[in-house]
Amino acid sequence: MPEIMLNSLVTLIVVVDPVGLAPLFVALTRGIPERQRRIQAVRGVALGTAILLVFAFVGDALLAALGIGLPAFRIAGGVLLFLVAVDIIFGRPSNVRPTPEDEPGTHEDVAVFPLAIPLIAGPGALATVLLYTGGADAGETAVFLGVLLFVLALTLVSLLLAPRIMGIFGESGSDVFSRVLGVLLAALAVQFVLDGVIESLPG
């Protein structure tokens, strides 16, 4: 249980990136009144949480309906997370996460897009949810869901305090933090691939 808790915590913090969302959220909501910004932060996190929880509970049924085995999904999910980790480590914009330049702060409502999807409940987060809940027992699933809700709560706090976080860490501090955790995510992604390969081997 402690291993699942620690691994899922690191993975979700890197993939969802609560601290890294702060500068993006500030850019996306530039010019929006403070009260409206807070409402959009709450709505965005609530929608993202709902999407991730739905995937947590119907993930196995979805894979079964598509005829996808868990080992295959572990390999595919591991590869996807590894690509995200490489982008984070080298400071490249990821194809699964828009940058402030891609979505300028001219949108009146960013809660659904791009905040909830794909910034919070993006491909990396959805893959992580299915990887940790697929084939897991009730205890492991409960631990993961607790970690998931904790990270999403951190995300909400980060968005609500986004201007202050930008003042404390700045873009450089946020980049350093993200890249260190990106290395850990790369290692976990490789482990997912290895687990999938081992599970797919006969015997």
CA gap 120, 113 in Å, rounded: 10
Q: What's the confidence (pLDDT) of residue 165? A: 77
What is the pTM assigned to this prediction? 0.75
Q: Of the spans 38-42, 98-102, 164-168, 187-191, which averages the highest pLDDT?
A: 38-42
Q: Among 7, 5, 14, which Cα is nearest to 154's?
A: 14
Tell me the CA distances in angstroms from 76 to 40, 46, 164, 181, 198, one per residue in order. Answer: 33, 27, 38, 21, 14
Beta strands in 4-129 (DSSP E): none
Q: What's the confidence (pLDDT) of residue 104? A: 44
What digits encode the pLDDT tens for the residues 96-139?
444 444 444 444 578 998 899 888 998 789 989 998 998 788 99
CA gap 180, 112 in Å, rounded: 29
Q: How many residues does the chain have?
A: 203
Q: What's the confidence (pLDDT) of residue 93? A: 56
What digits encode the pLDDT tens for the residues 46-99?
999 999 999 999 988 888 888 888 888 889 888 888 887 888 788 765 544 444
Q: What's the confidence (pLDDT) of residue 77? A: 83
Give percent above pLDDT 70 in the chain. 89
CA gap 167, 123 in Å, rounded: 30
* Average of per-residue pLDDT across 181-189: 82
Q: How high does pLDDT run on average in the chain?
A: 84
Q: Phi/psi at 133 (nearest 5 deg)?
A: -100, -20
CA gap 146, 1 in Å, rounded: 12
Q: What's the confidence (pLDDT) of residue 89? A: 83
